[in-house]
Amino acid sequence: MAQTVILSLDMGGTTLSYGLVQPDGRVRLRRSVGTFARGSGKAVLEQLLEVTRTLLEVASRRRLRVSGIGIGVPGTVDVARGRIRDNIQNVPEFEGLALGPLLRRRFSLPVHLDNDVNAHTLGELYFGRARGVRNFAMLAAGTGVGGGIVIEGKLVRGRRGYGGETGHTTVSLDGRPCFCGSIGCIKTYASGPDIAAQARERLQTARPSRLLELCGGDPQRLTAQEVFAAARASDPIALEVVEIAARALGAGVANLVNLLNPEMIVLGGGVLEASDLLLPRIKRWAASYAFAEALRGTRLVVSRFIERSSIRGAAALFLYETGGPPRSG
């Protein structure tokens, strides 16, 4: 009997990850390509269609039965209609796109899509740190900052799909402007691009910094990874930016604790690859803002699937929508 797999796609702001995942979470195939490797505009959708065709061909050669397609995208989704809403900052080519119906027509398979962090949250519920946990939240910092909430085993999407958008909760009333139209969002301090942007701003003071060496003397080339590397070398500008990012994430953790009193909060996303720098600081700031007793009852953990582009999340989304229960922890 052919092994069943889910065709899983995770469209990040920088990377499109894709693969074949068994219902037990075992990854049979995983590949990735730059989201804009072929350019912008229609090329982004064409690439998505091509990798889907590639996965179906691989599954056929390996005699794997594809049960359907799960997709995570970096924006808010009308889940019932399979349509991406009009506020997808990192992949604007997909604004308003009815991606679910398009793929169903093209490949004759059931398709389920949602916000990428909602998908990653379900990945934690089905395969990750939150297996067996009924009430938890996720806070993921990568190209953007997103969140997900599970209450009594159910994903909280809200009235129009904006449930769990922790990255766009305010942590500074007079803070940095955000693309969402607000100011002082967690995203503006703790996303990878914003971490780099804050370091660049501070370099304008012309203080000597290890950061300039790491980016070859061109601040425009600076990334969050260089900021973290400089922080590990005790560079004062980098350490200041890391502290600010950790404070914003710590405030986000505290807000989740005070609002939901969850059993667990899972931290994920590419920024948390620097958990050695961030996690102790996040815990310290969370303790400054949260109810102490509530925080003591909340496990704060880092995702095992630390990469923001985990395809297990897309597979978990498909299982969640088709009624497949998560395994117990």
| Residue 145 and residue 224 in one domain | yes
Residue 329 lies in a domain: no
Residue range 169-208, pLDDT digits in tens: 999 999 999 988 999 999 999 999 999 999 999 988 867 7
Residue range 73-94, pLDDT digits in tens: 988 899 999 999 877 777 888 8
DSSP of 258-269, one letter per residue?
Answer: HHH--SEEEEES
Task: Give the DSSP H or E segment for 202.
Answer: helix 192-203
| Residue 77 and residue 91 in one domain | yes
| Residue 153 and residue 281 in one domain | yes
Q: Averaged over 220-239, what is the pLDDT?
A: 94
Query: Going by C-beta distance under 8 Å and a sequence separation of 6 or more, which residues neighbour residue 178?
Result: 168, 184, 185, 187, 188
Q: Averaged over 157-179, what is the pLDDT?
A: 93
Note down the domain range covering 55: 4-123+308-321
| Three-class SS of 72-124 | EECCCEECCCCEECCCCCCCHHHCCCCHHHHHHHHHCCCEEEEEHHHHHHHHH
| Residue 99 and residue 37 in one domain | yes
Residue 78 lies in a domain: yes
Of residues 48 and 39, more confidence is placed in: 48
Q: Averaged over 234-252, what is the pLDDT?
A: 97
Q: How confident is the model at residue 327 (pLDDT cuts 50, 70, 90)?
A: low
Q: Averaged over 269-280, what is the pLDDT?
A: 95
Residue 326 lies in a domain: no
| Residue 138 and residue 281 in one domain | yes
| Residue 162 and residue 295 in one domain | yes
| Residue 198 and residue 59 in one domain | no
Residue 65 lies in a domain: yes
Looking at every residue in the chain, the average pLDDT score rounds to 92
Percent of the chain with pLDDT over 70: 97
| Residue 287 and residue 313 in one domain | no
State residue 325's pLDDT score: 66
Give me the CATH number covering residue 34.
3.30.420.40
| Residue 213 and residue 316 in one domain | no
Of residues 149 and 74, more confidence is placed in: 149
Q: Which of 204, 250, 243 is nearest to 227 (CA)?
A: 243
| Residue 118 and residue 211 in one domain | no
Residue 81 lies in a domain: yes
Token pair listed for 229: 């590397």
| Residue 160 and residue 265 in one domain | yes
Residue 328 lies in a domain: no
Q: Averaged over 60-78, what is the pLDDT?
A: 94
Q: What angle do CA 284, 287, 289 make, to 5 degrees?
A: 120
pTM: 0.93
Q: How many domains does the chain have?
A: 2
Residue 269 lies in a domain: yes
Residue 193 lies in a domain: yes
| Residue 156 and residue 37 in one domain | no
Q: How confident is the model at residue 308 (pLDDT cuts 50, 70, 90)?
A: very low
